[in-house]
Structure 1
Amino acid sequence: MIGPKMSEALNRHVQAELYSAHLYLGMSAWCEAHVWKGFARWLRAQHAEELEHARRSLDFLLARGGEARFGPVEAPPAAWASVNDVFEKVLEHERKVTSLVHELHAVAVEERDTAARVFLDGFVTEQVEEEAAADEIIQKLRMVGDRPGAALYLDKEYGKRGKVA
């Protein structure tokens, strides 16, 4: 049985994951509209990943006897200054998510909820990967600077994410 504090924290986590999914879907739409189709595909894959995180967290909550309590999901921004700005915001958001995951993990430690700690370890590890992936894209976009051909090459390469082989 899950305690009320852990249950409340997991409900907040589900809400945060749903916001992340909306944010990445919005960013994908912006990229698509600005003909960055590869980056749009990358962000769609990110959107699907965030939905999966929300589902896994909800399933864990319910399996432990918790009650799901959903609230409204805040609307994400609709526009960004550039594709570079999009990925700067991705990294900023992933850093925020990392801090939320760490706070959630701290609740599990405080509540002495070993099952939650084990479950959340995967999210902690994944956040390291998420931040590194966003930072890599930013670094590469900065490297190519104002060379459109190079930026288009990156767009094509990152668009391979999620393609069926």
Structure 2
Amino acid sequence: MLSKTLQKALNEQIDKEFYSAHLYLSMASYAETLNLPGFAHWMKLQQREEFGHAMQIYKYVNERGGRVELGAIPQPPSDFKTPTALFEEVLNHERSITASINKLYEKAVKEKDYATQVMLHGFIEEQVEEEASASEILETLHIGGEKGPALLMLDRQLARRGQG
């Protein structure tokens, strides 16, 4: 059985994951307005992942005898100015999610809730990958710039995400 404190924290994380899904869908739409289908594809895959994370925590809360209470999802931004600014927002957002998951893990440790600690391990590992991926793409944008062949090559590379 989940403690009320952990149940509340997990519900807050579900809301953050749903917000992340909305944010990435908004980012995909922005990329489409720039005619960057690869960027949009990358963001749509992120959106699906974040929705999946929310549902994974949702299932976990229910399996542990808790109750899911969904909160309001704030409207995400829709204009990111440039492709570089877009990925700066991705990296900043992923860092904030990492911090949130780490705090959640700390609560589970404090309460000696071993099952929640184990469940969160996968999220912690994935956040390392998420931050590294966003950082790598951002660095590529800084090196290659936002115009011309380098941007188009990056767009093609991002379009291949998830193809094996």
Over aligned residue pairs, what C-alpha RMSD do you find? 1.0
> Is the partner of 2:67 in helix, strand or coil?
coil
Match of 1:106 in 2: 106
Normalising to structure 2: TM-score of the pair? 0.97
- How many angstroms apart in 1 are the aligned matches of 2:59 and 2:147? 46
Q: Does structure 1 conserve the Cα–Cα contact (< 8 Å) formed by 2:15 and 2:71? A: yes
Using the TM superposition, give the Cα deviation of residue 143 of structure 1 relative to its aligned residue in structure 2, in angstroms.
1.0
* 1:117 corresponds to 2:117: yes
Runs of 4+ in 1 over 2 A off after TM superposition: none
Residue equivalent to 1:91:
91
- Number of residues of Structure 1 aligned to a counterpart in Structure 2: 164
The 5-angstrom pairing of residues 1-165 of structure 1 reads 1-163=1-163
Unaligned runs of 5+ in 1: none
Instruction: Write the distance in 2 (CA, Å) between the matches of 1:116 and 1:155.
Output: 38
* Displacement of 1:150: 1.2
| 3-state secondary structure, aligned to 2:124 | helix
Instruction: Determine the C-alpha separation between the residues in 1 that align with 2:81 and 2:33.
Output: 13
CA contact 1:41–1:162 (8 Å) conserved in 2: no
Taking a change above 3 Å as real, the CA distance of residues 83 and 65 of structure 1, as seen in their structure-2 partners, is same
- Cα gap change, 1:150 to 1:61, in 2 (>3 Å): same
Deviation at 1:146, TM superposition (A): 5.0
CA distance in 2, matches of 1:146, 1:36: 11
**Using the alignment, how far apart are the partners of 1:73 and 1:147 within structure 2?**
34
In 2, distance between residues paired with 1:100 and 1:80?
23
- Letter paired with 1:80: F
Q: Is the 8 A contact 2:27 2:86 kept in 1?
A: yes
Amino acid across the alignment from 2:83: V
Runs of at least 5 residues in structure 2 that lack an aligned partner in the other structure: none
SS in 2 for 1:68: coil
Amino acid at match of 1:118: V
Rate the CA distance shift 1:40–1:114 in 2: closer, same or farther, 3 A.
same
Q: Percent of counterpart pairs with the same letter?
A: 40
Q: TM-score, normalised by structure 1?
A: 0.97
Cα-to-partner distance string for 1:2-30 (whole Å, 9 max, x where unaligned): 11111111000000000000000000000
